[in-house]
Chain A
Amino acid sequence: DADVTQTPRNRITKTGKRIMLECSQTKGHDRMYWYRQDPGLGLRLIYYSFDVKDINKGEISDGYSVSRQAQAKFSLSLESAIPNQTALYFCATSDSWAYTQYFGPGTRLTVL
């Protein structure tokens, strides 16, 4: 079974809808991250969390919110989706003493 899972894998929605993307991990890592990938723009950090009570904004947090429900779960929400939020979204985890990140398979989100 995959160590980092994301649901859904694909989602098509309409402008103005609220969307939640979920991430779960079985690696026992404290740190979790949400990234957005657009063609040619690499991976941009949206939010990150170093433990259940620690949530931090990344470089592109506007229009997004997150919830760390447990050590193993980190959700990303788009309160009112807009077309320029169409992208591939990745969740990642890392141990608190290591720099390596482990990525989920991604969620492809399309906002019409």
Chain B
Amino acid sequence: GQQLNQSPQSMFIQEGEDVSMNCTSSSIFNTWLWYKQDPGEGPVLLIALYKAGELTSNGRLTAQFGTTRKDSFLNISASIPSDVGIYFCAGYHNTNAGKSTFGDGTTLTVKP
């Protein structure tokens, strides 16, 4: 089946620093999604990307749909303590029976 490699697995940064994480796959996806899971809660959608090369921002977050359709990147600028959580990428392809494939997550810790 389709698998996603998400890296890094964890990050420890100082408040104010920028963050970058990425997902790669051996398969092509039609849609890339980035979710954030706050401690004790379920994941919530941050950004959805629908086209190869697309660059989309949501506040301090910017995500890109790779031109090969096999990767995606998420950047967080000027991190703040509430950015703490687990970030998941997810890929969707219309041949996968309506299911998304999730990465293993990047755990972000921000030190004040």
Contact = CB atoms under 8 A, between A and B. Distances in A.
Interface of A: 4, 31, 33, 40-45, 48, 50, 56, 58-59, 90, 92, 96, 99-106
A92 to B, nearest CB: 8
Interface residues of B, number: 24
Nearest to A44: B102
A104 B42 contact: yes
Given A103-B42, A103-B43, A103-B44, A41 B1 contact: no
A105 B88 contact: no
Given A99-B100, A101-B100, A40 B9 contact: yes
Contacts of B88: 42-43
A106 B33 contact: no
6 contacts: A40-B9, A42-B6, A42-B104, A43-B43, A99-B33, A105-B40
B25 interface: no
B99 interface: yes
